[in-house]
């Protein structure tokens, strides 16, 4: 067994359209049978990356290595990858069976074999008996299944999926997420999946590659991305967060929100300015007083599993989750365990209070959902310059 671990390698990919750089310095590898997700807001270059792998775009610079060989000069129809397009892109002049058979017919496969494969595929995507239906008469979810079947019937080494569930409603999307993940495990095919939905990415992926502005921000297992975001952008994009300025006083000792905290991070310069990221669910609401951060509850929203509270403390509004309800106006204390304080080096994203509005809107998310709060300038400055 001398199989290469990396099935696809993108090497120093750069892509420019006219004067605008869409991708720069993209280096990533995709392992065999891996479910890799390219995650990022609209316009971050994730779809362009996918199209470069599919052969629909040529990178301005860099190389695409497939199983050890460059496929840069191979046209799409000669690549061992198949794509599920964002808008399904089914052939409207063909019925379901003809759509699925398209790839096999081009390969001049035996007609009995084609028939058998169509049946297998329809069974796989739960559409048995739909073979003679016109694709235009199908619902969005059904069309998507046909698109997946049409791609998978060719037994590609890699399946590329470009926001395939974007047009489906929430319930159907959740179902399809499970189905896709199951299919991927069952068939043992490498999936490269593009989405702007961080929850989808966390649910399905073996590896997530977070992108923004044409640059890879972080790559890793979903747990790592969630628990140890490398910069403020990743922290903001993956789930809700409280983000504060802090100063690393010494190893395992950080100061923010006007207090000193014990943390688990080390290796920073003395008094280095850092970003502090604390997840709402990591804040324990306790009685006021003592060494805890003191704050006043400003707003309480019931979210089903927990209450979401906005707690004002020394001019900063914290977002905290708790299963115990507090009253608006109530004074509370907040405690954060040392290992739940995420300390990050300052990056180009540190000084952006929120994701650019347009990106957030295009990603279909509001600032409130992202849990991004604007920190009063005074507080930010004071904690950083102490």
**Binding stretches for other proteins (CB under 8 A):** 54-56, 75-78, 81-83, 85-87, 89-93, 102-103, 106-107, 150-151, 154
Separation CA 191–CA 234 (nearest Å): 22
CB of 84 to other proteins, least distance (A): 9
Helix pair angle (140-152, 170-187), 10° resolution? 10
CB of 10 to other proteins, least distance (A): 19
Q: How many residues does the chain have?
A: 386
Q: Phi and psi at residue 200, in whole multiples of 5°?
A: -60, -45
Residue 134: DSSP 8-state: B
CB of 167 to other proteins, least distance (A): 13
Separation CA 90–CA 136 (nearest Å): 9
Place of tokens 């290469």: 4
CB of 32 to other proteins, least distance (A): 21
The residue among 87 and 306 lying less far from other proteins, judged by its C-beta, is 87
Separation CA 55–CA 78 (nearest Å): 9
Tokens of 275: 């970003």
Separation CA 104–CA 77 (nearest Å): 13
By the 8 A CB rule, do 210 and 40 touch? Answer: yes
The residue among 157 and 227 lying less far from other proteins, judged by its C-beta, is 157
By the 8 A CB rule, do 340 and 299 touch? Answer: no
CB of 104 to other proteins, least distance (A): 9
CB of 205 to other proteins, least distance (A): 23
Tokens of 202: 């966390």
The residue among 26 and 53 lying less far from other proteins, judged by its C-beta, is 53
The residue among 189 and 247 lying less far from other proteins, judged by its C-beta, is 189
The residue among 101 and 274 lying less far from other proteins, judged by its C-beta, is 101
The residue among 41 and 55 lying less far from other proteins, judged by its C-beta, is 55
The residue among 50 and 355 lying less far from other proteins, judged by its C-beta, is 50
In the chain, the largest separation of any two C-alpha atoms, in whole Å, equals 78
By the 8 A CB rule, do 118 and 99 touch? Answer: no
CB of 381 to other proteins, least distance (A): 49
């Amino acid at each position: 067994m001398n199989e290469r671990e990396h099935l696809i390698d993108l090497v120093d990919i750069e892509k420019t359209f006219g004067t605008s750089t869409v991708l720069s310095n993209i280096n990533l590898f995709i392992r065999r049978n891996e479910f890799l997700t390219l995650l990022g807001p609209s316009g971050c270059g994730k779809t362009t990356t996918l199209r470069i792998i599919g052969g629909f775009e040529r990178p301005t610079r860099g190389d695409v290595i497939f199983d050890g060989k460059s496929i840069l000069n191979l046209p799409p129809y000669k690549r061992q990858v198949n794509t599920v397009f964002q808008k399904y892109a089914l052939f409207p002049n063909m019925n379901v069976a003809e759509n699925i058979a398209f790839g096999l017919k081009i390969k001049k496969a035996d007609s009995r074999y084609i028939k058998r494969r169509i049946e297998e595929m329809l069974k796989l995507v739960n559409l048995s008996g739909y073979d003679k239906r016109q694709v235009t008469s199908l619902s969005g979810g059904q069309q998507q299944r046909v698109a997946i079947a049409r791609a998978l019937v060719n037994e590609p080494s890699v399946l590329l999926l470009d926001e395939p569930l974007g047009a489906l409603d929430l319930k159907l999307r959740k179902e399809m997420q499970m189905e896709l993940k199951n299919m991927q495990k069952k068939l043992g095919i490498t999936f490269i999946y593009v989405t702007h939905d961080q929850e989808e990415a966390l649910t399905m992926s073996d590896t997530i590659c977070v992108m923004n502005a044409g640059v890879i921000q972080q790559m890793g297992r979903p747990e790592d991305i969630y628990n140890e975001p490398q910069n403020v952008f990743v922290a903001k994009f993956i789930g809700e967060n409280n983000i504060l300025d802090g100063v690393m006083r010494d190893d395992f000792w950080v100061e923010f929100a006007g207090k000193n905290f014990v943390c688990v991070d080390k290796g920073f310069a003395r008094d280095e300015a850092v970003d502090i990221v604390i997840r709402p669910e990591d804040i324990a609401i306790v009685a006021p007083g003592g060494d805890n951060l003191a704050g006043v509850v400003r707003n309480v929203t019931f979210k089903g599993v927990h209450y979401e509270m906005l707690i004002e403390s020394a001019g900063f509004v914290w977002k905290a989750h708790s299963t115990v309800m507090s009253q608006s106006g109530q004074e509370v204390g907040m405690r954060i365990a040392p290992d739940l304080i995420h300390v990050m080096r300052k990056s180009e994203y540190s000084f952006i209070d929120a994701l650019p509005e347009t990106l957030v809107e295009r990603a279909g998310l509001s600032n409130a959902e992202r849990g991004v709060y604007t920190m009063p300038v005074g507080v930010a400055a004071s904690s950083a310059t102490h």
